[in-house]
Amino acid sequence: MPRMTAFNTLPLKPALLASVETLGYSEMTPVQAQSLPAMLEGRDVIAQAQTGSGKTAAFGLSLLQSLNAETIRLQALVLCPTRELADQVSKAIRKLAANIPNVKLLTLCGGMPLGPQLASLTHDPHIVVGTPGRVQEHLKRGSLHGGGIKVLVLDEADRMLDMGFSEAIDDIVGRIAKHHQTLLFSATYPDDIREVSKRVQRNPVEIIVEAPVETKPAIEQQFIDVDPARKLDALAQLLTGEGGQHALVFCNMRRDVDAVAEELDRRGFSALALHGDMEQRDRDEVLVQFANRSCAVLVATDVAARGLDITALPLVISYDVAHDPDTHVHRIGRTGRAGQTGLAIALCTPREKPKAANIEEALGRPLPWHPLKVAQPRGKTLHLAPMKTLVIDAGRQDKLRPGDILGALTGDAGLKADDVGKIDVFATRAYVAVNRSLANKALERLRAGKIKGRNFRVRALH
């Protein structure tokens, strides 16, 4: 009796089973066992799976199973957030296709010259793996024909949305065959991923591969007794520890948000304030910088932080104990997401003890009090965020896309894709995070060169 997790229990072509055997895959991984039966039936699938879970082999086998190599037309399209990932996926699919004669696969990414890609497209490939911006460009030019696509794969969809590719994906879907199978893979499930799924999928089978037990989300809580006069010293000390490179600090009052952010900035932290009295543009810029890791510490009121969707946030500190238990629970829920562990700390002065008692009663268990020996503050030491944000004075109205910006930075500016972080394109402005140590170089190169053949004003955001 064959094991249900063996590949030969699946209705795969002999050529694919031979490839699987050659590659030494004996047992299916959890994501393969759960997704392949539905994918091979032609169903749409949305799967939450981390890198290294075997998802590439899962969708690679599925799209090769439905491929007809004798028909010379594009039948499968795989979209990836970066050139590096597209290269990895291409290699993996080529290995799986080794026993199928004459399969033509092309990798189409931004940051690479267009000429050779156009030459390769004089004959239609069977499979294209690429980044959204460049694929969209070829579809618009007519150098890529999407009318015969049977399978569309969105790989690491959450990262593609982080990089601002949402509109490009929608545009691509509008330019390819109406009836196709859509396979969406994402490490996390924020609301915007569900929105994309609603727009591009039909009744998808939902698969969630549980992270191993040791990496399951876990929030550690700590309540710390502090003297009101030493509260800022305690906060600065906690922020220099692990997780302080990306931390959210809550204050109950707007005026305290500004005061705490200014004091942290004075002490050498990349800190910004966020509250309801700010202009919308300023709030947008603060949120962009915190999400793209250009700001290490965000000091905010509860109301202002509602629009925040940061998946991997290691540390949340309540500078003031929350007014009520619900707010406290909402604050600590900001950390420990997407399989990460998180730490939530509340600084509690003697006057705030009644609020802490209310939280304890609502939780129905004793609060975890921890001692903290507050050291004397030393001179200013820098605790800077790893990235820096560059602002381009052009946006969607100028037909500027994330792929254009990524291409300019990885092309003429000479940066690696790994040195470029989140890209946010608004109506009239675009923001891109780059490795802090390379920010000045990137700024000089962008000012000297062109983006999409045009000169735009570029500056660093401070």
Residues 6+ apart with CB under 8 A from 416: 410
Q: What pLDDT does residue 2 have?
A: 43
For residues 73 and 149, give the distance between their C-alpha atoms in angstroms, rounded to a whole number.
Answer: 8
Sort 450 into a burial class: Cβ within 10 Å, 0-12 / 13-18 / 19+: exposed
> Is 433 part of a structural domain of the chain?
yes
In a domain, 377, yes or no: no
Domain end: 298, 329, 363, which one? 363
CATH number, domain of 445, equals 3.30.70.330
300/436 same-domain check: no
What CATH number does residue 187 fall under? 3.40.50.300
Query: In terms of domains, do 265 and 323 share one?
Result: yes
Say how far apart CA 390 and CA 442 lie, in whole Å.
9
Q: Are residues 206 and 227 in the same domain?
A: no
List CB contacts of 104: < 8 A, sequence separation 6 or more.
123, 124, 125, 126, 127
Regarding whether 414 and 271 lie in a shared domain, the answer is no
Task: Please name the residue that has the structure tokens 């618009």.
Answer: 140
Per the structure, the complete domain to which residue 74 belongs is given by 7-210
Task: Decide the pairing of beta strands 430-435 and 420-425.
Answer: antiparallel
* CA 327 to centroid of chain Cα atoms: 26
Kindly state whether residues 451 and 310 are assigned to the same domain.
no
Per-residue pLDDT tens listing for the chain (462 residues): 345 678 989 999 999 999 999 888 878 999 999 999 999 999 999 998 876 788 999 999 999 999 999 999 999 999 998 887 898 899 999 999 999 999 999 999 887 788 889 999 999 999 999 999 999 999 999 999 999 999 999 999 988 887 788 999 999 999 999 999 999 999 877 788 999 999 999 999 999 886 544 444 468 899 999 999 999 999 999 999 766 788 999 999 999 999 999 999 999 999 999 988 888 789 889 999 998 999 999 999 987 776 565 666 889 999 999 998 888 987 887 776 555 678 999 999 999 999 999 999 988 889 999 999 998 877 778 889 999 999 999 998 898 988 899 989 988 778 888 899 999 988 899 999 999 999 999 999 888 888 888 889 999 997
Answer yes or no: are the C-beta atoms of 130 and 79 closer than 8 Å: yes
Whether 94 maps to a domain, the answer reads yes
Please tell me whether residues 176 and 56 are part of one structural domain: yes
Identity of residue 3:
R
Same-domain check for residues 47 and 164: yes
Residue 373 within a domain: no
Q: Is residue 334 part of a domain?
A: yes
Whether 136 and 152 have beta carbons less than 8 Å apart is answered as no
Q: What is the number of domains present in the chain?
A: 3
What pLDDT does residue 329 have? 83
Same domain, yes or no, for 48 and 148? yes
What does the pLDDT read at residue 35? 95
Q: Are residues 220 and 195 in the same domain?
A: no
pLDDT at residue 214 in the model: 40
H/E stretch holding 114 reads helix 114-120
List, edge to edge, every strand of the sheet that includes 218-225.
218-225, 341-348, 315-318, 247-250, 297-300, 271-274
Q: Are residues 394 and 292 in the same domain?
A: no
Among candidate residues 187, 93, 159, 171, the one with its CA nearest the CA of residue 134: 171
The answer on 413 and 439 residing in a single domain is: yes
Same domain for 206 and 218, yes or no, is no
| CA atoms of 137 and 250, how far apart (whole Å) | 43
At how many degrees (to 10) do helices 83-96 and 14-22 cross?
A: 110
- Please indicate, yes or no, if residue 146 is contained in any of the structural domains: yes
User: What's the rounded Cα separation, in Å, for the pair 338 and 196?
Assistant: 18
Residue position matching structure tokens 């490839």: 19
Q: Final residue of a domain: which of 182, 210, 238?
A: 210
Is there a domain that residue 39 lies in?
yes
440, β-bridge pairs: none
Q: How far apart are CA 107 and CA 105, in angstroms?
A: 7
- The verdict on residue 382 lying in a domain is no
Residue where a domain terminates, one of 210, 240, 260: 210
